[in-house]
């Protein structure tokens, strides 16, 4: 099997070299064997793992969450019920974000409409919408 240097893995996976090192430190990818001169030599399938990590990050998973999930895959890992509980919690978080973003979209529509109102009325609508947006973000940030 062909092996790749860290720069090749990073380039092929669309991340920086520092990200590959971090993923290795966190146990998200297996430690790479080193050459006599100290270069890391990764198996080709490392590129796919790094792409999965990058995609999971874009979907809202933290590296810590991935480390828990990835570290527990296999016969000695977490039970299907434990895995499902983690994934269900993540789905609830995503649903909450979606609801919040929909509300923000409505409020931004109000801001846009306010621009067409007389100045004294527009100011009230802008202030009301701005306050609503701030409150919505504060609610979304509160666990």
Question: In this structure, what token pair is assigned to residue 36?
Answer: 């006599």
The band of 10, judged by pLDDT with boundaries at 50, 70 and 90, is very high
The band of 128, judged by pLDDT with boundaries at 50, 70 and 90, is confident
**Residue 121 vs residue 110, higher pLDDT:** 110
Q: Which CATH class is domain 3-71?
A: mainly alpha
- Model-level pTM? 0.62
Instruction: Tell me: pLDDT of 70 over 90.
Output: no
Backbone angles phi, psi at 27, to 5 degrees: 85, 10
Q: CA-to-CA distance for 116 and 42, rounded, in angstroms? A: 59
Percent of the chain with pLDDT over 70: 81
């Amino acid at each position: 099997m062909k092996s790749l240097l860290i720069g090749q893995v990073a380039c092929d996976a669309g991340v920086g070299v520092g990200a590959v090192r971090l993923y290795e430190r966190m146990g998200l990818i297996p430690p790479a064997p080193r050459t006599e001169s100290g270069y890391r030599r990764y198996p080709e399938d490392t590129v796919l793992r790094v792409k999965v990590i990058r995609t999971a990050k874009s979907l809202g998973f933290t590296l810590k969450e991935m480390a828990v999930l990835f570290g527990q895959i296999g016969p000695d890992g977490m039970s299907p019920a434990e895995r499902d509980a983690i994934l269900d919690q993540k789905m609830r978080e995503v649903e909450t974000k979606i609801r919040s973003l929909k509300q923000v979209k409505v409020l931004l529509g109000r801001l846009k409409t306010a621009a067409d109102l007389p100045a004294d009325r527009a100011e009230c609508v802008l202030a009301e919408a701005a306050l609503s947006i701030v409150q919505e973000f504060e609610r979304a940030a509160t666990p």
